[in-house]
Structure 1
Amino acid sequence: MMDTSLNDKTPRSMSERSTERLDSWKEIAAFFRREVRTVQLWEKSEGLPVKRHHHIKLGSVYAYRHELESWWASRCSGHGAPQVDSALTPGKPKLSTFSAEYPRSEDPGPAYHASMMGLYFWKQRTRVDLLKAVGYYQEALLLDPTYADAYAGLADTYVSLSYNHLMPARQAMESAKRAVDSALALDPHSINVRNAEINFRANCAWEWAAAERLCQSIVETGLVNSRTFQLYASLMINLGRHDEAIRLSLHAHRLDPLSDIVNSQVSFSYFYAGDYDNSIAFINRAIELRPQFSMGHALLGRTHAERGNWEQAIRSFERGLEVSTDSALLKALIAYGHAGLGDSDRASEILQEIEADAGNECFPAYDVSAVYALLKRQDQAVEHISRAYEMHDIKMTYIQYDPRFKSLRSLPQIQQITASMFPVPRTRSATLQQSH
């Protein structure tokens, strides 16, 4: 069987040759377990070998499985992949980059396949899929307790559960730490393990300096993948180094232009830099790649809101709520949209509905605070941001630069919180500084 691991879904094996020819975009997409639009983009931008009938029906396409498998294997091996800008590492012409999030082997075994299923469901980001991801990673570890990359994937999934308010933040942090520690003990040199460590240190432990040193050390080795640059860019946003965040996220995009996660990261970087045109362009691409991406719709709505397009913002937030599982976070964003539109009664009505579940440890206090801030209900805004801090809400990492909290940042209570979170003066990345 051909091993075709990549940083996303894998095509079906060559044993499924009973229908060698695929006769529609739908069949080709099903072969890769992707959306039709995604494989159409692959044909345009990456040379996916799709053929056309010129004398039958206009637009009719077909492809052969073995050609698709050969193309996929070439893509996995990095042949023809975009190179990382050598400006990141002066004196080095290029970096060795990896497409696969799990290393390939001649006989990967059942633990590997369980981990790949975990990776697939982790990337979906919905409540049901993230819980499935936990199950598959745990199954992989039952099959092979020494499989470090399964621990890494498990850690990333706990972080995602926390970010999406599907697991109490402190519980997720503790679970992620145990998984990262186990992964590091087994294989401290795995790029997936190192990336999981960055994710944990930056988003859960709030160890900014340690996370940046780790990013720098990985980049200096030259053994990186798009996930490394994506996480590095996210860290730079938290530290207010927006130009660096944009550059790093664009490097990630060159390595994996068809990743919804990477396109979302580029959008985030532009958003926090105040470049809303580019932010919208990249988040629209992320949504095009994964229409059920609820956080993509959330970011699109927030970008429209910053441009004063409140009705468009509400539509985006409502679409995000539709594709999520009754997310209280998306409800808070809808309330935010109505507050911005001037409909304080509707905003307050939604807030009242959300507050009925205020005892829930997954309560989205950070985003509820933003609504109160926009309604100029300062005491309640401060109360909720303080609660988000006590809960260790991952989104608190954005507090210094989130435009929704501009009116609160001069308050002593908020300054005390940010001082406790960011005690180390911000310094420029030594690795990137050399390239300027």
Structure 2
Amino acid sequence: MPAAADARLDSWKEIAAYVSRGVRTVRRWEREEGLPVHRHVHRVLGSVYAYRSEIDAWRQSGPRRPVSRPPAPGPGTDLGPGPLKSIAVLPFTNLSTDPENEYFADGLTDEVTAVLSKVRTLRVISRTSAMTFKGRTGDVKTIARALGVQYLLQGSVRRAGSRLRITAQLIDATRDDHLWADSYDGTVEDLFAIQERLARVIVDALEVRLTADEDRRLAERPIANLHAYECYLRARQEAWRWRRDAIDHAIQLLYNGLAIVGENARLHAALGFAHLQYREAGIDFGEGPLHEAERCARKVFALEPQSASGRLLRGWIHYSRGQVQEAVRDLKAALEIEPNNADTLMLLSNCYLISGRVSVARPLIDRLLAVDPLTPLSRCLPGYADALDGNLAAALEPYRQMFEMDPGNPMARLFYVWALALNRRTEEIGAIVQAFPAEARDSLPARLALFLGHAVAGNRGEAQAALTPDIEAAATATDVFPRLLAQGYALAGRPERALHCLAMAVDRGFINHPYLARHDPFLESLRGDPRFQQLLEAVHDRWERFEP
């Protein structure tokens, strides 16, 4: 092997320049045609080198096919019918002796997923679906098949004080072929550089061309200070616990981060979403969380006017206030910036469904399931679309899947009861309701499920006994709960209460006129009532004026 320093090429760029090709091409040549490239062992960021003499010999061994380089797609480019390259970032394993560093490994998983999701020509599985494999083992083909992807990224994180080692490997699961593997050594201060370089290595290995904007966004560091960034990672983990104490802690951590770095768009957006978690978890449906989230949204836009996170946050706020048209505008803008964001796809799909634009929602639901196939709520959306179109039998299977994926979730159990009720499966409803976890039996979802089950079975007294004033008051916060109350009251022969709750659901944004006018079987007893017809006229007007 040559020893002269000037005979060695010390990076992919130097190798590519020497053979007058692009970096992606020489990476492919190494993988598929045996281009002689060497790797440093235990060097940071997967350093490579090659020798001119070895490359010359390789080139003389036979003709190489010329490689054509297609232009990089622009923001409005039609990507054509061909499938996008698909990848899932599996949860990084925490190999640190301190289990408290689990948040660090999860944070790395989240950030690499988020960075790759910025590339339009990649389909990246959402964090939520990928996290279902946390702590689980299985062969790569089975995992890839469950997630619907070709490529998997696996890795581990070991942290000891300020020292850091990250290992990663990229696998073509369809062939069980390890395309690339390496170790990254450094300190925690190198974390941002490691995350960016790891994403770029993956992009190069998959031979994906970046637009100038994508290249810039891969280099962004929204929280430049490591200690503030750790506050952000810990807060995300806490907020997902859906408990008051955990959300309180998440909010305090985010304030700690802001105290370190000052005004920061990423931290303010996370703070806004944390406040909304009080509503999502059914803890506080009052105005307080919405006011705080609105304050955070204003901060985000003052710092970063084109923020996708800011638009998603403001979309959630509009939706929570029943301002669905305004929510759609913000969510569409957020999707233009981040087309694979599962949260945006889910909320926008729901906005279209409750607004009577089911045909517009279905392609978005397909996109959502492509990037988030294992989240229970994603799985039920096709059933919701079918129910709203009047195909009640088809709604059962998606809701059953949702329930079986997360039987401990009170909302999943309530929604399955609703789907069973639509199909008059009264015997099955009883078993589902009785099996609510003990700690959730007095929750809003459990009480509504019990109410609806008794109502559809014709047990009017038992249905009313399932409700308390507190439950009825809490059930006014969204479009979902008052609509379920209206359906139950209609079945229980209480048209005044049914119409009152239905008007509340409409006020919260449910203006799907075809469903209310024709498809909802629970409202049959109301359709001859002049008050119902008057409400339906108002719904029809809003439905016609709605702009998808």
**After TM superposition, is the score higher than 0.5?**
yes
Q: Distance in 1 between matches of 2:333 and 2:145?
A: 34
1:337-376 alignment, distance < 5 Å = 337-351=453-467, 354-355=468-469, 367-376=484-493
Does 212-221 or 176-185 show the bigger shift? Answer: 212-221
CA RMSD of aligned residues (A): 4.8
> Does structure 2 conserve the Cα–Cα contact (< 8 Å) formed by 1:158 and 1:176?
yes
Q: Distance in 1 between matches of 2:170 and 2:399?
A: 27
Shift of 1:338: 1.2
Residue 382 of structure 1: which of 499, 518, 541 is its match? 499
Alignment match, 2:144: 46
Q: Which runs of 5+ in 1 are unaligned?
A: 19-31, 49-62, 81-93, 430-436
> Does structure 2 conserve the Cα–Cα contact (< 8 Å) formed by 1:111 and 1:139?
yes
**Residue 11, structure 1, aligned to residue 92, structure 2:** yes
> Does structure 2 conserve the Cα–Cα contact (< 8 Å) formed by 1:318 and 1:330?
no
**Residue 397, structure 1, aligned to residue 397, structure 2:** no
> Does structure 2 conserve the Cα–Cα contact (< 8 Å) formed by 1:369 and 1:382?
yes
Shift of 1:135: 4.7
Alignment match, 1:188: 305
Alignment match, 2:538: 419
**Residue 206, structure 1, aligned to residue 329, structure 2:** no
Shift of 1:175: 2.7
Does 140-149 or 304-313 show the bigger shift? Answer: 140-149
Distance 1:108 1:330, change over 3 A: farther
Does 409-418 or 263-272 show the bigger shift? Answer: 409-418
Query: Percent identity between the aligned chains?
Result: 16
Q: Distance in 2 between matches of 1:304 and 1:273?
A: 16
Hey, which of these two has a bigger chunk of strand by percent?
A: 2
Q: Distance in 2 between matches of 1:64 and 1:200?
A: 36
1:3-402 alignment, distance < 5 Å = 11-13=92-94, 15=96, 34=132, 44-46=142-144, 65=156, 69-70=168-169, 77=199, 109-125=226-242, 130=247, 133-163=250-280, 165-201=282-318, 203-221=319-337, 223-276=339-392, 279-320=395-436, 322=438, 324=440, 326-351=442-467, 354-355=468-469, 367-385=484-502, 397=510, 401=515
Does 320-329 or 376-385 show the bigger shift? Answer: 320-329
Does 221-230 or 338-347 show the bigger shift? Answer: 221-230
Q: Distance in 1 between matches of 2:528 and 2:240?
A: 38
Alignment match, 2:77: none
Name which structure has the greater RCO, CA cutoff 8 Å, separation 6+.
1
SS of alignment partner, residue 510 of structure 2 = helix
> Does structure 2 conserve the Cα–Cα contact (< 8 Å) formed by 1:311 and 1:337?
no
Shift of 1:254: 0.5
Q: Distance in 2 between matches of 1:297 and 1:260?
A: 11
> Does structure 2 conserve the Cα–Cα contact (< 8 Å) formed by 1:11 and 1:33?
no
Q: Distance in 2 between matches of 1:382 and 1:9?
A: 48
Can you list the C-alpha shifts for 1:76-101, whole angstroms capped at 9, x where unaligned? 95969xxxxxxxxxxxxx9x99xx9x
Does 124-133 or 241-250 show the bigger shift? Answer: 124-133
Can you list the C-alpha shifts for 1:279-335, whole angstroms capped at 9, x where unaligned? 444444444554432212211111111111123234334445646473133202211
Shift of 1:244: 1.9
Q: How does the TM-score come out when normalised to structure 2?
A: 0.55
> Does structure 2 conserve the Cα–Cα contact (< 8 Å) formed by 1:335 and 1:347?
yes
SS of alignment partner, residue 189 of structure 1 = coil
Shift of 1:106: 9.3
Report which of the two structures shows the higher radius of gyration computed on alpha carbons.
2
Letter of the 1:355 partner, please give it: P
Shift of 1:242: 0.9
Can you list the C-alpha shifts for 1:4-58, whole angstroms capped at 9, x where unaligned? xx9999534454599xxxxxxxxxxxxx97567976597614279xxxxxxxxxx
Distance 1:77 1:44, change over 3 A: farther
> Does structure 2 conserve the Cα–Cα contact (< 8 Å) formed by 1:260 and 1:290?
yes
Shift of 1:251: 0.2
Q: Distance in 1 between matches of 2:335 and 2:405?
A: 28
Aligned residues: 376
Letter of the 2:538 partner, please give it: A
Shift of 1:189: 2.6
Q: Which runs of 5+ in 2 are unaligned?
A: 1-43, 46-86, 100-129, 147-153, 158-165, 172-194, 204-210
Q: Distance in 2 between matches of 1:256 and 1:428?
A: 27
